[in-house]
Amino acid sequence: MAITYEGKEIFFDSVIYEDDLPTLRTFLQTNAGEEISFDFVKCEDLHLAILQLIVSYQKNYPYIYKFGTDKKLFEIVLKGFDPSENYCN
């Protein structure tokens, strides 16, 4: 698995494909409301469905992001997402 879980921390390693979505969704649903740490230090890329799930968590619950030194496109998206601009609720 390219995603591993330790307590309330999620580690993303290499390229994350949509196959990891059900497990990630279950983890986030189980821990809804908790502050989750998303560690992307070893992550090379994320599937869009994974990115959408993370952004939806970011909109509603506390989170921490950890990024590596090489800037990735998904990092720019996550840092640039403004939940106050989302009027879906």
Report the SS3 class of residue 40.
Answer: strand
Boundaries of every domain in the chain: 3-85
pLDDT digit string, tens, across residues 62-72: 999 999 999 99
pLDDT at 43: 96
Residue 11: C-alpha distances to residues 80, 82, 83, 87 (Å)? 21, 23, 23, 30
For residue 4, pLDDT beyond 80 = yes
For residue 57, pLDDT beyond 60 = yes
pLDDT at 17: 95
CATH class of the 3-85 domain in this structure: alpha beta
Phi and psi for 66 in degrees, rounded to 5? -120, 125
Angle between helices 21-30 and 48-60 (to 10 degrees): 10
pLDDT grade, residue 10 (50/70/90)?
very high
Mean pLDDT across the stretch 15-30?
96
